[in-house]
Homo-oligomer: A and B are copies of this chain.
Amino acid sequence: MATKKIAVIVTNGVEDIELVEPRQALVDAGYQPILIGEQAGQLIYGKKGTTFKLDQGIDDVVATDYQALFIPGGYSPDHLRADPRFVDFTSEFMEKRRPVFAICHGPQLFITAGLAHGKKMTAYQTVQADLQYAGADVTDQAVVEDGPLITSRNPHDIPQFNAAIVKYLKTIPAT
C-alpha cells in the first residue's frame, strides 16, 4: 500500500491558516502531513504567531518516502528558496511529475528550481508576474490543476484548494 505521508516544507513566517487548514484536511482524509524544515523538533512561528513543531529536518528526509509535497505560503517559501536543500527537494517531486501542492507564495520555489516554465499554475497576486516571466502559464483563479501540480492564490482559496488536493490524492492507486 502507498505511503500516506505528505511532505510539508515550512519555516518561520508561514501564513498560519495556509498550513493549519490544508494540514487538517489531509489528516481528515487519512493522510499524514509531516512538517519538514531546518531541524526535527524545532519550533517555528507563523506570521500570525501560531507555533508549529517540525517533525523532520531536511537533511534526514528522502523525497521518495512521501506521496506528495505541499508548500504553504506566507514569508516561508522565500526563506526556504534561499536554501538549496529545499529547492532540490522540491525539484525531486517536480522533475518526476510527482504530486506538488502549493498555495500563495509557495510557487516561488518553482522559480528558483528553474521548473516553472511551461507549467499551468497560479499563485499569490504579486508572485503571478514573477511566474509569468519565468515562463509559467499563469491563470488568476482559485485553483489551477496541471496534472499532479495543484496551486492556489491565497487564504480565500483554501476550501477549493483542499478539495482539489484530497481529490487528486484519492486518484493515486495503492501500490
Contacts and interface: CB of A to CB of B under 8 A. Distances in A.
Interface of A: 13, 75, 78, 81-82, 108, 111-112, 114, 125-126, 129-130, 133-135
| Protomer copies | 2
A111 B130 contact: yes
Contacts of A75: 13, 75
Contact of A133 (B78, B82, B111, B125): B111
Nearest to A77: B126
Contact of A112 (B82, B114, B126): B126
Given A82-B125, A111-B129, 14 more contacts: A13-B75, A75-B75, A78-B126, A81-B126, A82-B126, A111-B130, A111-B133, A112-B126, A114-B129, A129-B134, A130-B133, A130-B134, A133-B134, A133-B135
